[in-house]
């Protein structure tokens, strides 16, 4: 357990030292503010666009579809293929830590980073709403907001597990990055051609959190979709571990 | 070593099985969305003639802005429509009778004896004819897949309850946070467009035929006085609700649609605009539209030049 904690700390520190991580954090703070500025710039053309209590949820849509997956691919590329190609993975494995510990530490570090990203987005967009919002519009309680963010976090973790599994097949960061972006956009496009694909694809669960805001969706539906995401998280994490375990470094 | 394989193997097995099972449940589960789609298809495919009672209401902060009630008989086979249209607006109320027959679209206001005839072009003219044909058009399976994909997870928001007599009630309730950001962003654009439209229309209108007794114009003025709904700031969709009743023969019997906008006008006054549409369909394939004999009546031909504007 100590090994895992030390490993996690190690991975998080590494992540912070990478410039791109900080860049992504900065961008995710700036985007809600930039949108407010854009709305102000559009004022003469379109009138004032509503910034309402649902602003944090509307921002979430952009994040879960574009920004967080991109962040994920960049970080996973650094966590796995990059460490193999630059032969630094053995440094982590030389420590008193099991392979499972090293693997989990990487996954958890990514999870923490995604969590921080969501937290930053939630805080900044809520602040934007308090500062620039039009009072008395919309109705979204803070509890509903937290539920939506937690649901978004779960779907992002499942997506991360899937792409960590895919990353095990790659030995270069660039190759993985290109392939995963293509795969992701491809998987997003397939439901437009094949009926029923979206029920089995994790990528179509990126806007899944909106179900948690509804009053009409049945509990059964919420349970089955949550189970789907949890089980796919577990499955891809395990297969990814088996591949990672057999890897020569 | 063996224990490790057993552990990871069973983890994969169990989670894979759950994943497949839940995916299949979602895939096979009949949702309200599927019911609704099936009913729409069935209604559109088997429809030859129908009686439509439609009631559209526009309210601002609870006070009535305008209301249109119509009672139409339509037959798809010979493309004939007849019916009456009653419009209550701020400018007063209007009763219009309309017929669509081989010589074109015939309008008559109760206030005058003149019949206005508009030659039919190949394109479909108005709501009452357009609605039915549009439904029939979106049936190709490729388009259906695209629509399914666009609707995405909103599919799960449709609920369907079966009544004891075999009919089904389907409803969809969305609040502002659940409405996709793209749709939400279109709301201010739409209002801007409406305001622009009204400015553009005003000067032209007074000059055209017969001092405002042209029923088409009255129709427009009465129903859509865009100045009344000129929201400029903070426009957004607050809620969308859709209710439909499907009869045991899987035909759509009634269809309600409500949409609520909130926003402020140029003076900074908050408005809540509610638009609702209530359509009742009856006498499926048992309706014969009336026709009118124009001989010996006062007839005025209308040109098609403001066709495009009317369509907006």
Beta-sheet strand order (sheet of B115-118):
B159-162, B168-175, B231-246, B252-265, B270-282, B49-60, B63-75, B80-89, B92-101, B104-109, B115-118, B299-302
- pLDDT (tens digit per residue) in A15-72: 889 888 999 999 989 988 888 888 878 777 666 666 777 788 888 888 898 899 999 9
CB contact under 8 A, A138 and B177: yes
DSSP conformation letters of B191-234: HHHHHHHHHHHHHHHHHSGGGGT-HHHHHHHHH--GGGG-EEEE
- pLDDT (tens digit per residue) in A66-96: 899 999 999 999 999 998 888 888 888 888 8
Q: Spell out the SS3 assignment of A54-95.
A: CHHHHHHHHHHHHHHHHHHHHHHHHHCHHHHHCCCHHHHHHC
Phi, psi of B163 (to 5 degrees): -95, 170
CB contact under 8 A, A210 and B234: no
Q: Which of B15, B19, B236 sits opposite A50 (nearest CB)?
A: B236
Whether residue B150 contacts residue B138, with contact meaning beta carbons closer than 8 Å, is answered with no
Residue B187 DSSP label: H
- Identify the pLDDT of residue B237: 85
- Cα gap A152→A156, rounded to integer Å: 6
- Cα gap A157→A113, rounded to integer Å: 11
Question: In terms of C-beta distances under 8 Å and separation of at least 24 residues, what long-range contacts does B250-258 make, across chains too?
Answer: B250/B38, B250/B39, B250/B42, B250/B43, B251/B39, B251/B42, B251/B43, B251/B46, B251/B281, B251/B284, B252/B39, B252/B40, B252/B43, B252/B281, B253/B167, B253/B280, B253/B281, B253/B282, B254/B278, B254/B279, B254/B280, B254/B281, B255/B279, B255/B281
For chain A, say whether B143 makes contact (Cβ under 8 Å).
Answer: no
- Identify the pLDDT of residue B127: 45
A48 contacts in B (CB within 8 Å)?
A: 232-234, 264
- Cα gap A163→A182, rounded to integer Å: 12
- pLDDT (tens digit per residue) in A141-153: 778 888 899 999 9
Whether complex ipTM tops 0.90: no
CB contact under 8 A, B234 and A241: no
Query: Kindly report the CA angle at B140 between B134 and B142, in degrees rounded to 5?
Result: 125
B156 contacts in A (CB within 8 Å)?
A: 211, 214, 217, 221
Q: Which of B148, B175, B270 sits opposite A136 (nearest CB)?
A: B270
B185 contacts in A (CB within 8 Å)?
A: 49
Phi, psi of B164 (to 5 degrees): -65, -25
Q: Collect the ranges in chain B with pLDDT lower than 50.
A: 122-132, 134-136, 138, 202-212, 306-312
- Identify the pLDDT of residue B1: 66
Give the Cβ contact number of residue B231 at 10 Å: 27
**CA A32 → CA A97, A140, A155, B184, B187, distances in Å?**
40, 18, 21, 16, 20
| Residue ranges of domains in chain A | 4-245
Phi, psi of B232 (to 5 degrees): -115, -35
Task: Give the gyration radius of chain A's Cα atoms.
Answer: 20
Residues β-bridged to residue B277 = B56, B257
Q: Which of A144, A211, A228 sits opposite B19 (nearest CB)?
A: A228
What pTM, to 2 d.p., does this model score?
A: 0.80
Task: Give the gyration radius of chain B's Cα atoms.
Answer: 24
- Identify the pLDDT of residue B241: 92
């Amino acid at each position: 357990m100590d090994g895992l904690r030390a490993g996690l700390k190690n991975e998080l520190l590494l992540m912070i030292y990478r410039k791109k991580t900080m860049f992504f954090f900065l961008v995710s703070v700036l985007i809600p503010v930039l949108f407010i500025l854009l709305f102000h710039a559009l004022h003469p053309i379109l009138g004032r666009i509503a910034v309402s209590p649902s602003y944090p949820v509307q921002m979430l849509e952009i994040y879960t579809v574009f920004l967080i997956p991109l962040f994920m691919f960049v970080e996973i590329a650094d966590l796995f293929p990059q460490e193999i190609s630059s032969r630094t993975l053995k440094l982590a494995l030389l420590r008193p830590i099991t392979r499972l510990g090293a693997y989990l530490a990487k996954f958890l570090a990514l999870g923490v980073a995604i969590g921080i990203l969501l937290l930053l987005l939630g805080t900044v967009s809520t602040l934007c709403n308090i500062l620039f919002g039009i009072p008395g519009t919309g109705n979204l309680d803070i509890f509903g907001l937290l539920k939506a963010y937690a649901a978004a976090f779960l779907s992002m973790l499942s997506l991360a597990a899937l792409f960590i599994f895919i990353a095990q097949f790659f030995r270069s960061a660039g190759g993985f990055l290109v392939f995963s972006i293509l795969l992701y956009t491809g998987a997003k496009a397939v439901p437009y051609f094949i009926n029923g694909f979206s029920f089995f694809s994790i990528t179509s669960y990126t806007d899944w959190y909106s179900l948690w805001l509804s009053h009409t969706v049945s509990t059964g539906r919420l349970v089955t979709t949550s189970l789907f995401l949890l089980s796919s998280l577990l499955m891809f994490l395990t297969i990814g571990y088996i591949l990672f375990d057999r890897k020569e470094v | 070593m063996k224990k490790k394989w057993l552990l990871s193997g069973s983890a994969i097995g169990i989670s894979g099985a759950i994943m497949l099972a839940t995916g299949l449940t979602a895939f096979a589960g009949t949702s309200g969305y599927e019911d609704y789609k099936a009913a729409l298809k069935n209604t559109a495919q088997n429809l030859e003639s129908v009686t439509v009672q439609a009631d559209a209401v526009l309210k601002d902060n609870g006070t009535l802005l305008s209301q249109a009630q119509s009672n139409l008989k339509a037959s798809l086979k010979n493309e004939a429509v007849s019916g009456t249209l009653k419009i209550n607006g701020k400018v007063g109320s209007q009763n219009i009778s309309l017929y669509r027959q081989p010589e074109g679209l015939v309008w008559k206001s109760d206030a005058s004896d003149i019949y206005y005839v508009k030659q039919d072009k190949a394109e479909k003219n108005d709501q009452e004819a357009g609605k039915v044909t549009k439904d029939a058009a979106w049936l190709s399976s490729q388009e259906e897949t695209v629509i399914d994909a666009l609707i995405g997870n909103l599919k799960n928001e449709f609920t369907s309850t079966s009544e004891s007599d075999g009919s089904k009630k389907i409803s969809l309730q969305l609040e502002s946070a659940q409405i996709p950001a793209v749709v939400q962003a279109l709301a201010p654009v739409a209002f801007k467009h409406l305001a622009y439209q009204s400015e553009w229309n005003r000067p032209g209108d007074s000059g055209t035929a017969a001092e405002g007794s042209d029923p088409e114009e009255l129709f427009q003025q009465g129903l859509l006085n865009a100045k009344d709904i000129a929201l400029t700031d903070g426009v957004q969709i607050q809620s969308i609700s859709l209710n439909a009743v499907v009869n045991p023969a899987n035909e759509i019997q009634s269809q309600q649609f409500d949409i609520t906008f909130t926003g402020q006008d140029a003076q900074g006054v908050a408005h809540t605009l509610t638009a609702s549409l209530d359509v009742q369909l009856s006498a499926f394939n048992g309706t014969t539209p009336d026709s009118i004999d124009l001989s010996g009546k006062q007839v005025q031909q209308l040109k098609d030049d403001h066709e495009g504007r009317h369509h907006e």
